[in-house]
Structures are given as structure tokens and as C-alpha cells.
A = this chain, B = another copy of it.
Amino acid sequence: MQGTLPQDGSGQPNTEKPTRLPTHQVVYQRLREAVLFGELAPGEPVTIQGLIERTGAGMTPIREAIRRLTSEGALEFRGNRRVLVPMPTPDAIEELIFLRETLEPQLAARAAEKATKADIAALDRIDSALDDAITRGDVVAYLRQNHAFHMKLNDIADAPILADVAGGVWLRFGPAMRVVCGRMGTQNLPDNHKTAIQALRDADSKTAAEAIRLDVVQGMEQLLQALKDAEGFREAID
């Protein structure tokens, strides 16, 4: 989250398509990741000026990125002119549980009908990296790989609107996830991914949906519990 901007993150020499993506896209993706994986802590104020210094970008693209994120719920307009990363309340988490429990099993079921060998191989690869992260106790890597797994699964389902909405939900509980996992480490985290992958191999919608539902509910209930326990750090936000 620093340094000069002009990189597209592909790592490749950027031949083939010299059309680099616009700055506002890059800033958007950076901010999005910063929110998702806890580079920006909940309650931390996000100022335009600060981002100008941090990214080296101009003012206009930054404003556009902030607008997008606020309209997706990743950032919040607080009071007069302050934008910050919101910390979800227990009530909000409860809403997010409902959304995830509804959307993601549905997407998993559809994915089971559409998944190709290549898709399944990709999921397998991600899940291995995820296991790695858990054994290493690397919280951020866990968050990234877990996110990647679910997004890939949603992508396979070939239901772009549902996947889009589901992705937006992750944006809202991401900050809380980071805080809680930072405290609890990578112990006791749910992993029903292997069941889900096998269900995809068998084209078994029912089982895939149930595996994901379990994964979602277990993870989110844990999150909710941790939040309710530690009402302490709420003062830091307000």
C-alpha cells in the first residue's frame, strides 16, 4: 500500500496489451483489498489528502474510487465529511449471515452443475494454499485464500449478479474478520471446502450447497460471537 502507481498487478512485462487500466481502477482495487484484508483497520479515517500522498495519484481518481467503495458499503460516510472503514455491529453481522447463508449455497449448487475439470483444479490449488496458510498461522494469507476460494466458486456458478452481490457482502464483514482473526489466530477455523470440491466433482448440487452453508454459518457465527464478546473496542470507532 505504497510506492508508485503504474502497475497492473499482473507481474507480466505488459506486452500484448499496452492499454494499462485507468488510475481510478487501480486505486479502487487497492482500496478494496485494503478493506478486505485489513490493511485499513475499522474506524480508521480515510481522507482524500491522505490517499493522495499514499498512492501518488491525483485527486479525481481517488474521489471516484472512494465513491464506488462507499456505494458498496466498504466505506462509510460518517457525519459531516469524514469517510472511514465501518465496523459492523452485531445487528449488521446478523444481516450479513442471512445474506451469505442465502446466496452462497445457491451459488455453490449452480457451480456444481457447471464446474469443469479446470475449475475444480483451480479450487483445489486455492484450497491447498489455504491449508498452508492455516498451518503457518498466517492470518492475512488465510483471509486472501479463503476469499479467493469463495469468489472462484461463485464465479463458476455463472450467475454474475448473484456473484456480484455476494462479493459485496464480503466487503462489509471483511474488516471485522481481520480484527477477530488477528486475535484468535487461524485455530478453529471452519473448512468444509474439501467436501464442497468433492461435491463439485460428483456434480452433486445438494451436497455442495450444504457444505458451503455449513462453512458460512460456522465462520460467521464465530465472528458474531467474537464481536459480542469484545464489545470493548467499539469505543475506538465512535
Contact = CB atoms under 8 A, between A and B. Distances in A.
A155 interface: no
B168 A172 contact: no
A60 interface: yes
Given A67-B67, A73-B164, A165-B165, A95 B159 contact: yes
A98 B106 contact: yes
Given A60-B60, A68-B67, A106-B98, A172 B165 contact: no
Q: How large is the interface on A (under 10, 10 to 19, 20 to 34, 35 or more residues)?
A: 20 to 34
B95 A161 contact: yes
A149 to B, nearest CB: 22
A67 B67 CA distance: 7
Contacts of A102: 102
Contacts of A96: 161
Contacts of A60: 60, 63
A204 interface: no
Interface in A81-103: 91-92, 95-96, 98-99, 102
A49 interface: no
B72 A71 contact: yes
> Number of copies of this chain in the oligomer?
2
Given A71-B71, A71-B72, A72-B71, A161 B99 contact: yes
Contacts of A131: none
Interface string A20-37: 000010000000000000
Contacts of A73: 161, 164
Interface string A127-168: 000000000000000000000000000000001111011001
Nearest to A88: B161
A122 to B, nearest CB: 23
Interface of A: 24, 60, 63-64, 67-68, 71-73, 91-92, 95-96, 98-99, 102, 106, 159-162, 164-165, 168, 172
